[in-house]
Structure 1
């Protein structure tokens, strides 16, 4: 622990991509002796993995669709969520509020900035999300998972801190384990997932793509694939027809163990997926979700693909023939996969949760600023005693601002 115990509020929307980094940060802050509360929406409250010590406060977050007639309802919900967040701040008195994106971050960060509470936003993707874009000018710090983030205005560069994307402890513990041995005649284990709900395109393309590999390679395959419930039997029959051993399920509880055994990953390019692949060091064939906001999954995949740790196939070009071609290019020899695994490993940022916690701890504390262990210019500025980002607000200013906000 670095200093006295403090209170922090984390705000995250109702998807695993937003919640899992928040859970990881909460665990690290609690380990350092701090108290942490979560603000989320009704969907977020159902996401598994929330630490038992962290209370969850569900607020109305508001949604803004394409129909302007729905905006009044969304604005009303945001204002109510802001009021609820302010009431929590009165009793909990957070030293800082951290937003991870998603609808609940909007009223929470709005409340924090109006109440004078220091604010940090964490962007998991390689494109700055809508809520984080909205508050980029007003927050005290912007933590990023990638060295290059699209839609991030250059004028906010001074408050940007590259920390990475926190991953689950069970996955991070695999970082120092070697890549699974792969002899010329050994099993080639392929892990296929399409996010929390699965992806139908993977169920339709992957079995046929694997069947088009050269016989010597195809006979070594052992597949583990996540599918939608309605696709399970169809996919099982396809693998049976092709003579490829495959274990199928709608959800795998032991995903960390599956990733540890895998020689090759095939799936989407969500932020958490990329973070885990690079934490462990696993080569991948990535098919970005084409309808992802601002095409952020393609942006997520670029760093890993450029390094040689992955191949990216756009969904419109994702055919069985193209998949087989890319797998063959990676797996023609054991060293090819091992080299790709090492390239992926080099893209990992295993200190992400520690660096993010250091950044968060630097706000709202005592007069002496804690050192922030992050890379780039910010690390040099901190080591030289220069301020990082905007000046820190002190607790007295927070309380005065809260009184004004009332």
Structure 2
């Protein structure tokens, strides 16, 4: 079979699309990627996969912006239709983001089946626009806000695909940790970094009680413009820290970590829960529909994470939360097990099963081992109606 994957250019869209591509290719299927300029430059993924860049406007910017965006969408749709005419896929899989929009519109126009994958716990704007036409919607969470109840019959919980090397971490023991072992902390702010983490985390680590502070080993991702300032602050505090602007060997860093501190992006949550790593999560306050707070909900409720809203994210609050999780080794080990309990390390397999079914003209049920199409849908209590 042949499949087209359409994804926006951010890591949150590209990484699960890549994981699905690897799984589909391992089954002997052909895969083609449609994305934007950013996605085509994303390092280390989609090797040996044909990549097509199509125009796609971002809706916004007032009347002039809308006109430009609609023109770009129309051009992208026309190009996608020509592409499908030359190489007709069995299904087109959309991972959200505006670059996926024209590709999916073209597929619907040509009656090619479409599957949507939603990485976040709030259905994204593009997926909301396309949900009615899709044959199936795969979700990463069992509760998805702004997903209309009428789509429940074609909605399947599959999880958010992660890279194979990270999925395998959940099969290994949690790194040994007791009252004498180093406390290894990994800090990231998503693919672009987060200045607030560089401002708050070193100060918070410096406020830890001595029994924890003297055992710290830190790896932190920083924005390029922040890294030297953060490096200097760690040196002043006497805390050993490895700083970088981009973590290429995420699986290796995550394998060593006892505790994660960072944003609650979809891929981050999927990787933490698949690997079984406890976390302190600081959702990005400006995320669309506050979806990062929703992403953190499941892992926090299970006891595998603690969530601090950015407005309350101070050095003292962070220090007390770290002590609550790590001062007792048993508590930290239990939090790791609870994080693992909500992980879905077989998401790539289950999403591939769903995509194959749709490509074969079958209903979106009986996907994966024991999965059902039941997903709680609708707006959160007190939120915006779906």
TM over 0.5: yes
Mapping 1:72-111, distance limit 5 Å: 72-111=67-106
Structure 1 residue aligned with 2:328, among 330, 333, 337? Answer: 333
For the pair shown, the structure with the greater C-alpha radius of gyration is 1
Once the two structures are TM-superposed, the CA of residue 295 in structure 1 deviates from its matched residue by 0.3
Alignment-derived partner of residue 7 in structure 2: 12
Mapping 1:55-204, distance limit 5 Å: 55-204=50-199
Once the two structures are TM-superposed, the CA of residue 366 in structure 1 deviates from its matched residue by 7.2
Structure 1 residue aligned with 2:246, among 245, 251, 261? Answer: 251
Q: Taking CA–CA contacts closer than 8 Å with sequence separation of 6 or more, which of the two structures ends up with the larger relative contact order? A: 2
- Residue aligned with 2:225, SS: helix
Once the two structures are TM-superposed, the CA of residue 66 in structure 1 deviates from its matched residue by 3.3
For this pair of structures, how many residues does the alignment match?
A: 374
Structure 1 residue aligned with 2:337, among 333, 339, 342? Answer: 342
**Cα contact 1:119–1:140 (8 A) shared by 2:** yes
Structure 2 residue aligned with 1:281, among 276, 282, 285? Answer: 276
Where do 5+ consecutive residues of structure 1 fail to align?
A: 1-5, 380-406
Once the two structures are TM-superposed, the CA of residue 368 in structure 1 deviates from its matched residue by 11
Superposed CA deviations along residues 173-218 of structure 1, whole A, max 9, x for unmatched, are: 2121101111211110011111112110000000010111111111
Task: Tell me, in whole angstroms, the C-alpha distance in 2 between the residues paired with 1:335 and 1:101.
Answer: 40
Task: Tell me, in whole angstroms, the C-alpha distance in 1 between the residues paired with 2:344 and 2:48.
Answer: 26
Alignment-derived partner of residue 34 in structure 1: 29
Are 1:304 and 2:299 an aligned pair? yes
Sort the Cα spacing of 1:367 and 1:282 in 2 relative to 1 into closer, same or farther, 3 A: closer
**Cα contact 2:156–2:364 (8 A) shared by 1:** no
Are 1:210 and 2:199 an aligned pair? no
**Cα contact 1:361–1:370 (8 A) shared by 2:** no
**Cα contact 2:304–2:336 (8 A) shared by 1:** yes
Where do 5+ consecutive residues of structure 2 fail to align?
A: 375-386
Moved more, 361-370 or 321-330: 361-370
Sort the Cα spacing of 1:220 and 1:110 in 2 relative to 1 into closer, same or farther, 3 A: same
Once the two structures are TM-superposed, the CA of residue 41 in structure 1 deviates from its matched residue by 1.1
Once the two structures are TM-superposed, the CA of residue 50 in structure 1 deviates from its matched residue by 2.9
Alignment-derived partner of residue 317 in structure 2: 322
Once the two structures are TM-superposed, the CA of residue 369 in structure 1 deviates from its matched residue by 9.4
User: What value does the CA root-mean-square deviation take over the aligned residues?
Assistant: 1.5
Once the two structures are TM-superposed, the CA of residue 65 in structure 1 deviates from its matched residue by 1.6
Task: Tell me, in whole angstroms, the C-alpha distance in 2 between the residues paired with 1:253 and 1:152.
Answer: 34
Task: Tell me, in whole angstroms, the C-alpha distance in 2 between the residues paired with 1:314 and 1:338.
Answer: 24
Sort the Cα spacing of 1:198 and 1:320 in 2 relative to 1 into closer, same or farther, 3 A: same
